[in-house]
Structure 1
């Protein structure tokens, strides 16, 4: 990849708290080398075709000459602009930046102005000014569409007609008169001023991309919350650290302004605390509220805690140094000097003990404030659980439950009796056959089996009972031997 997107996806170092004056200049939205060709994953196939790209880079002609080419060219550039902005997370741009962005072999497209107007008309992009307008509610939109817009048109028509007939006086007639719908009451009740300066509103943004990134930032901030009553406030430097991997500084300025306008965050530049704080809403559909007394008290306690910890660390270092001085004085034999240093160490130790006691009290108070949120949540959950259980048990009568249990027990006992009756043999439980007769027959069968075994032919016993043959008996020929075997 060339230098075109060398800075895309990388985080630039943020400025410190005393440099919070954000400025978004048109000439520094993106640092792009005009002589480099762009490279991106969603590059269209036409980009490698010189003939096709020369036609696409040329200015638009009259649509009546070739409507098909005109529409395809519009469609190509709209898809290309939206795809690369989504892939590279380009939130804001202007025509000059787009021309530099799409530089190809030293050539820039000469047709982007018309494409930008098309994107504006279909609401795929909008100006920064339009994007930073507060979102109105559903009721306000319905009033604008159903009441004020028809009223505006009717009033304008009436005054134009009156003027044409010469019946209206100059007192009531104005050529530029157009009734406007009342603006929704979006004024924030914040008493603080945001440190973000007004932004340059001449460039364009992708509203869907801005909304998605703003929700991602809110989700990232809300993931740090443990106790809702105190953890929805961060120092500005801490916020920059958390969001460094999500968005760069220039885009962060715009998105923070977008979130502030829509009452999702509140940026407080506190002179008393000499730093900038950011409060954000916790729920997805919630709006951020001004700092309340609990939050202000917790912030001051936390500041006191940090200050006491710092002072305690300094005192501990001083005490360690005095201990070394005491040992050195004792080795040198300066007992009186060592005694003076020892007294000074005692005073510091007393001061350190006092600060540690105060620090312990502050930490206990902070833990109590944190626990108060947990207690409130627990009480709310128990209350809702009790209401749900009460609603679930509504319509259940205790007396009916007792009657049902007794009825179930009777049915169970009756079922056991039925099973015991079915398990018994017929004829009142007596067997059909006599046990003595069965035993006699069984013994008889057993004796018959034993006799059959005894009468079985045994070849081994037969061979053993054969008479022996004398040794002096003359050997018979084969024919004689075979004939002798005939019985």
Structure 2
């Protein structure tokens, strides 16, 4: 595992500092040591809440995963004054599982308990040590054990969790999809490009304990695979073995090509000196190197083909796995809802019967009701309609209807304005 280097604490960013930080009187109280809680429980709890929140924000914002009391004191120094209350705050955070000792995490390694199981054991089954340390500090006693706690390296779990999730998103972008996983990788390759290898190691440990990664470190070299419930299979081991052979062959090919060029240069130098036998020996060596290069190239081509086939078989296995899960889900749905071929056929028959019944009811409702209506004969109605068609057209003037008039008998249009009496006279003449 990577070693832990005690680096200087980064400065606290101004954006996470609360308003109280600018208040000298308020900060004088907050930087002082805790007094007995019984004297002023409200003030005690407010002070504890202040420091818990600012320490968590500081660790997450600055990606400060490993801390100790001395580092926090340097980080929160204000106008030359160091906080004297952090031991109580640290114990409170340890009691809640927000801080855990670095050595405990490293002892469990990649294959320790799950995070939930570890938290249960520490905070529920074995809380006595936490309570004893807190009581010891509250009484104001100091001992070699309590003094040692001030330099104890602790892991800030919220900061570690954020760092681990960032690493998971980078290594396995599809980690939100069920059964998605990354390719198997060498653990050393994952750690070598990280600015802080210890933080990266701890992040992978956290992912392993939350079933988001899998590490196989009982072989050399150690392997890692990222993703939900990721498991390193025999296929993964074979793939990584072929990839390592591919790397070795490629490196060997470059070396042979360099030797080949060197032989050509030697042959030219020997010819310039008139040493033809030596020049021929250099060319013979070049021919032998060319033969070996051809063999290695063929082997490398075969390796590429095998790696491609393994990758294709893995993809096919994932597709088949997806088919199996989908089929199981469909069967579960059919089982829960009672869907079957017979049930569907019976349901469709019921629907047809219901529709037929609906049509019959609609027909029954639309039939005329009552004895008077029922006694009328359709033949009588037809004869009555025929009699109506044979009757003469509408009445003439003798019947009091509108009189017929001749358009030629209409008076001429007057050439001068016409009064009301004139119109009445002309109308009476029509």
- Which residue does 2:295 correspond to in 1? 354
* Residue 333 to residue 231, structure 1, CA distance change in 2 (3 Å): farther
SS of the counterpart of 1:89?
Answer: coil
Residues 312, 400 of structure 1: alpha-carbon distance in 2 compared, 3 angstrom cutoff: same
Moved more, 359-368 or 110-119: 110-119
Aligned counterparts of 1:137 and 1:201: Cα–Cα separation in 2: 24
**Alignment partner for residue 168 of structure 2, among 196, 215, 218?**
218
Q: Which has the higher contact order (CA 8 A, sep 6+)?
A: 1
Q: 1:81 aligns to what? A: 55
Say whether 1:46 aligns with 2:26: no
- Indicate the residue corresponding to 1:448 in structure 2: none
> Displacement, 1:360?
1.5
For the Cα contact (< 8 Å) 1:305–1:362, is it kept in 2? Answer: yes
Corresponding residue of 1:371: 312
Cα pair distance change 1:145/1:50, threshold 3 Å: closer
**Distance in 1 (alpha carbons) for counterparts of 2:62 and 2:193:** 21
Across the aligned residues of Structure 1 and Structure 2, the Cα RMSD in angstroms comes to 5.7
TM-score (norm 2): 0.58
Indicate the residue corresponding to 1:128 in structure 2.
102
- Distance, in Å, in 2 between the alignment partners of 1:222 and 1:136 is 21
Note the alpha carbon deviations across 1:321-355, whole angstroms, 9 max, x for none.
55677789999999887766655444333332222
- So what's the TM-score if we normalise by structure 1? 0.53
Per-residue deviation at 1:374? Answer: 1.6
Q: How does 1:268-283 map onto structure 2 within 5 Å?
A: 268=217, 276-283=221-228
Secondary structure at 2:14's aligned position in 1? coil
Structure 2 equivalent of residue 471 of structure 1: none
Instruction: Kindly indicate whether the alpha-carbon contact (under 8 Å) linking 1:58 and 1:111 is maintained by their aligned counterparts in 2.
Output: yes
**Whole-Å Cα distance in 2 between the matches of residues 313 and 396 of structure 1?**
70
Q: CA shift at 1:369, angstroms?
A: 1.3
Superposition deviation, residue 239 in structure 1? 0.6
Work out the CA distance in 1 between the residues paired with 2:316 and 2:152.
Answer: 50
Unmatched 5+ residue regions in structure 2? 127-149, 354-381, 383-406, 408-412, 414-430
Task: Identify the residue that residue 396 of structure 2 maps to in structure 1.
Answer: none
**Which digits, 9 at most, give the CA deviation of each residue in 1:6-47, with x for residues without a partner?**
xxxxxxxxxxxxxxx52226xx1x4038xxx74431211121
Residue 81 of structure 2 aligns to a residue whose secondary structure is coil
- Compute the displacement of 1:397 (Å): 8.6
Q: Does 1:301 align with 2:242?
A: yes
Q: Distance in 2 between matches of 1:316 and 1:124?
A: 57
1:362 Cα offset (Å): 1.6
**Number of equivalences:** 345
Q: Deviations over 1:99-141 (max 9, x none)?
A: 1111111111122222223333344433335656644598999
Output one character per residue of 1:192-251: Cα deviation in whole Å (capped at 9) or x when no partner. Answer: xxxxxxxx99333332332332233233222499xx99964322443135644xxx3342
Q: Counterparts of 1:33-72 in structure 2 under 5 Å?
A: 38-72=12-46
